[in-house]
């Protein structure tokens, strides 16, 4: 009887130990928590979701805070309300640092190194950048562009100066105001659009408005899959106004010091995500109406990253 009691005591002690270890391990995993932010357009939702998947696959608990504009997401990072997000080199250079050197902002490597060094002084670390360039663009319906003889922004400038009231321009509020946005573009190319010919709307609606002929010209993003699918063309930026916009994870130094493994965890996105693939992924969400979570996870699985 005593032997049996001892045996049960040992078993109970062992089981209790296993429970304690399990709880400790679970707590340790959940202590590895990060908050990933993102802006308010499809590509940003996808990049944030990819980062979340890779981080969770490596034992992190991840919270997403997405769907805001550039100025809000930047301040959220600086204030420690989020831990990292994907920022674009051209946005940091022109919007946050108010720089305008065309030789710097149109060169991928130089622009990246400049913003990386500047942000390091603020306790923000730029990790490896993704090679695609998601530049802003002005779009037109291909048939209209051909009919009016417009293939570049210089062509558009000449047309608007001759017929200022004929074309309606679709932009979002941020693109209208930012230093690499439409007001600055008009100054750079030497034309002026009457204010009543400017139609402000959300980024996603700009494509629909152009497709349905509510506007004649619309802002867009180079990597958007809807450009080809909807029969649009990008007007050539023949006077090199737009900076390069290579995305990269920007993380608070305190977080990276605590979890240095994050750099390696996120590297595969930079190594595998091309411009063509980004267009296809954006199209899966915007045209095929697939869920962001599914599109991001499926891409990672196809690349054997999950």
225-244 pLDDT, tens per residue?
999 899 999 999 999 999 99
- pLDDT(169) > 60: yes
Residues 6+ positions from 278 with CB-CB distance below 8 Å: 43, 46, 132, 134, 223
Q: Where are the alpha helices (DSSP H) in the chain?
A: 2-31, 42-56, 70-78, 89-91, 102-105, 108-120, 142-148, 153-162, 173-177, 182-189, 203-211, 226-229, 253-258, 262-272, 275-286, 292-302
- Which residue in the block uniquely carries the two structure tokens 């902002």? 105
Q: Which pLDDT tens digit goes with each residue over 50-77?
A: 999 999 999 999 999 999 999 999 999 9
Taking a C-beta distance cutoff of 8 angstroms, is the pair 131, 247 a contact? no
CA angle 128, 134, 140 (to 5 degrees): 175
Q: How far apart are CA 218 and CA 209, in angstroms?
A: 8
**The pLDDT value given to residue 74:** 98
**Pairing mode of beta strands 124-126, 247-252:** antiparallel
Q: Which domains does the chain have, with CATH numbers?
A: 32-133+246-302 (3.40.190.10), 136-234 (3.40.190.120)
Per-residue model confidence (pLDDT) at position 102: 86
Q: Residue 174: name the closest of 100, 257, 73, 244 by CA.
A: 73
pLDDT per position as a tens digit, 88-118? 999 999 999 999 898 899 999 999 999 999 9
Residue 12 pLDDT > 70, yes or no? no
pTM: 0.82
Question: 194 near 164, Cβ under 8 Å?
Answer: yes
pLDDT number for residue 11 = 46
């Amino acid at each position: 009887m005593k032997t049996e009691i001892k045996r049960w005591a040992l078993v109970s002690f062992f089981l209790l130990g296993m429970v304690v270890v399990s709880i400790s391990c679970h707590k340790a995993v959940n202590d590895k928590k990060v908050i990933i932010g993102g802006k308010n357009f499809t590509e940003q939702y996808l990049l944030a979701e990819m980062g979340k998947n890779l981080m969770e696959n490596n034992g992190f608990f991840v919270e997403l805070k997405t769907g805001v504009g550039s100025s809000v997401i930047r301040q959220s990072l600086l204030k420690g309300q989020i831990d990292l997000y994907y920022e674009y080199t051209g946005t940091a250079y022109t919007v946050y640092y108010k720089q305008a050197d065309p030789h710097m902002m149109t060169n991928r490597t130089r622009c990246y190194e400049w913003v990386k060094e500047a942000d390091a002084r603020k306790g923000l670390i730029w990790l490896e950048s993704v090679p695609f360039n998601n530049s802003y663009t002005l779009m037109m319906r291909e048939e209209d562009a051909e009919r009016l003889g417009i293939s570049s922004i210089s062509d558009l400038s000449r047309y608007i100066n001759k017929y200022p009231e004929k074309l309606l321009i679709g932009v979002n509020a941020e693109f209208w105001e930012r230093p690499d946005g439409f007001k600055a573009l008009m100054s750079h190319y030497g034309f002026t659009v009457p204010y009543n010919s400017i139609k402000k709307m959300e980024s996603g609606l700009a494509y629909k408005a152009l497709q349905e002929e509510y506007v004649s010209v619309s802002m867009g993003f180079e990597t958007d899959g809807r450009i080809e699918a909807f029969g649009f063309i990008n007007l050539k930026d023949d006077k090199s106004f737009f900076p390069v916009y290579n995305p990269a994870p920007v993380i608070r130094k305190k977080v990276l010091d605590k979890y240095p493994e994050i750099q390696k965890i996120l590297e595969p996105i930079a190594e595998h995500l091309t411009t063509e693939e980004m267009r296809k992924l954006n199209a899966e969400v915007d045209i095929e109406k697939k869920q962001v979570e599914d599109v991001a996870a499926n891409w990672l699985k196809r690349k054997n990253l999950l």
